[in-house]
Amino acid sequence: MNGSLKTKCLNVVVAVGVLFALGFSVVSGQVQDAAQNQRPDERFKADILLVVAHPDDETAVFSYLAKAVLDEKKRVAVVYTTRGDGGGNEIGSERSSSLGMIREIEARRGLAAFGIQNVWFMDGRDVLSQNPLSSLANGQHARLLEQLVRTFRLTRPEVVLTWLPALAGDHGGHQASGILATEAFDASGDPTVFPAQVTARTRDFAPMFEGLRPWQAKKLYFFTDSLWLDLKGKAVEYSNQEISPSQKVTYEYLAGTEASYHLTQEDNKPFADAMAKGELDKYLQKATSVLGFSVFPNPVRLLLGKTHVKIGPQDEVFAGISNEPIPFVFSRSPQSPQQTGVVIELGGPWGFYPNFWKFHGLEGLERLSEKRIYISAGEKLEVPLLLRNATSGSKQVSLRLKTKLPEGWNEETRASRFLIDAGDAYPVNISIATPAKPSDIWYGLEYSIEIDGREVSAVVLKVQLVRGTIPQ
């Protein structure tokens, strides 16, 4: 063999070797991605994926997680959409990003104490607001969703737990994490969503492809810390007073133990102080007697949001679940019903949620969620309204916007008459000065529209004035 031929043969051998080293095989004239034939990394496999907003949010359901991890031997992974850098610090002067770093360590240590090692922090901004739309916008919604879908595909959870996506609590970040988890639950099984995460089977070498696989979780459950939203009889329940067979203490005690790692947070530092004195049981009993209810939710109620297995809403979390993957089934989003007539609606998050629930097949949540909000006493309340003329043709309407407020509530001067074209909608933002005194009463703010002196539509927003700072 002459030198030239030897060189050519050698080049072919090297090229083939490089090709196979890159993980490819040639089959029927196509380049097949060998990574698709490899088993996923079992180090990250999760039975339960918890998606929450802040370090210490896990305490809301930790009595159940302790049961799942310690006594049912379930694998749990946790995703935080923020580092909680908008919170307070009870033990130091660190704030903002520095505080977020500390809270991340607190969460990792607390979870690691129970064997939960797979913990991810996303880069969402911790916004002090009750508005989930603000939280999503400041966290860059699409970027966070991409990160979360990637985590779903890496951890391959059977069950997902998250905050209830409804205006039920006092933090928009909680709601935003529930929105993101719901979207990721539907999207992670679809290979066309963030396709760079899923290595194509028949493509030339592309180093930016990540080598993951689509994954469809089987169940999605919601929980809430709202004191006015009652899930009794509507959800599966787990008592925190049950004794752990392996640990010989209540699950409430285990939840308090995990909470004690969150030293920076006002609500959790007492657990650390009690643990240091060996008096956690005594503290839990005293706190319960003072409050009139358990410091941790009891029972933990998990509301079934979505399921791909045939079970009832009060069946056990893992009822009907096998470890076998299930195929992704594309479901077309429903068409929004065509409105007719002239109507007044609440905008902002109150306007967002009905469309979100319908899109994701969660219309039942609308029956659980009322149009309510907390606000600090004495603070200005912004009420977004939408005046909609859903009549057909070219008919213009002249309408009058009327307000009925509780005594001591004052609305800033605004226009009261509006001319709206057919098929058009006009946004109106109402600013209201609230009384300075907190109250346990839910006040009703009523807005209505009249045409020719006749009321045609009305909406009521319930507001409670609280002590402290709760930004709208």
Question: Residue 92 and residue 385: Cα distance in Å, rounded?
Answer: 42
Structure tokens at 319: 């009822």
Beta strands in 141-281 (DSSP E): 159-163, 219-223, 236-238
Structure tokens at 388: 């909609």
Lowest mean pLDDT across 113-122, 172-181, 360-369: 360-369
* pLDDT score recorded for residue 18: 34
Three-state DSSP class for residue 290: helix
Supply angle C-alpha 334, 339, 343, rounded to 5: 135
Residue 212 and residue 44 in contact, taking contact as beta carbons nearer than 8 Å? no
Question: Residue 107 and residue 126: Cα distance in Å, rounded?
Answer: 16
Residue 387 and residue 428 in contact, taking contact as beta carbons nearer than 8 Å? yes
Looking at per-residue confidence, does 190 or 21 come out higher? 190
Q: Which fold has domain 42-307?
A: Rossmann fold (3.40.50)
State pLDDT tens for residues 38-88: 788 999 999 999 999 999 999 999 999 999 999 999 999 999 999 999 999
Residue 36 and residue 210 in contact, taking contact as beta carbons nearer than 8 Å? no
Class of domain 342-466: mainly beta
Structure tokens at 193: 């969503």
106 C-beta neighbours (distance < 10 Å), count: 21
Question: Residue 277 and residue 436: Cα distance in Å, rounded?
Answer: 40
* pLDDT score recorded for residue 229: 85
Note the Cα 406 to chain centre separation in Å.
34
Residue type, 437: K
Phi/psi of residue 357, nearest 5 degrees: -60, -40
Structure tokens at 397: 């309407």
* pLDDT score recorded for residue 15: 41
Q: How sure is the predictor about 373, in pLDDT bands with cuts at 50, 70 and 90? A: very high
Query: Residue ranges of the domains in the chain?
Result: 42-307, 342-466
299: preceding bond cis by omega (within 30 degrees): yes
Lowest mean pLDDT across 32-36, 298-302, 429-433: 32-36
List the alpha helices (DSSP H) in 22-66.
62-66
Residues 39-50 as b or e (16 or more Cβ within 10 Å = b): ebeeebbbbbbb
375 closest CA partner among 55, 193, 130 = 130
Residue 67 DSSP class? I
Inter-CA distances, 378 with 434, 464, 466, 472, Å = 5, 11, 9, 12
Q: How sure is the predictor about 370, in pLDDT bands with cuts at 50, 70 and 90? A: confident
Residue 379 and residue 360 in contact, taking contact as beta carbons nearer than 8 Å? no
Residue 371 DSSP class? S
Q: Count of alpha carbons within 13 Å of 25, Cβ hemisphere only? A: 6
Q: Which residues pair with 250 in a beta bridge?
A: 243
Q: Count of alpha carbons within 13 Å of 127, Cβ hemisphere only? A: 22
pTM for this prediction? 0.89
- Average pLDDT value for residue range 178-187: 97
64 closest CA partner among 301, 305, 320 = 301
Residues above pLDDT 90, as percent of the chain: 74
Lowest mean pLDDT across 108-117, 220-229, 251-260: 220-229
Q: Which residues pair with 400 in a beta bridge?
A: 417, 450
Angle (deg, nearest 10), helices 251-259 and 269-276: 110
Q: How sure is the predictor about 335, in pLDDT bands with cuts at 50, 70 and 90? A: low
163 closest CA partner among 27, 287, 54 = 54
- Strands 454-466 and 372-376 turn out to be parallel
- Average pLDDT value for residue range 206-232: 88
Q: Is 445 exposed, middle or buried (0-12, 13-18, 19+ CB in 10 A)?
A: buried
Which run of H or of E encompasses 93? none
Structure tokens at 230: 């009652």
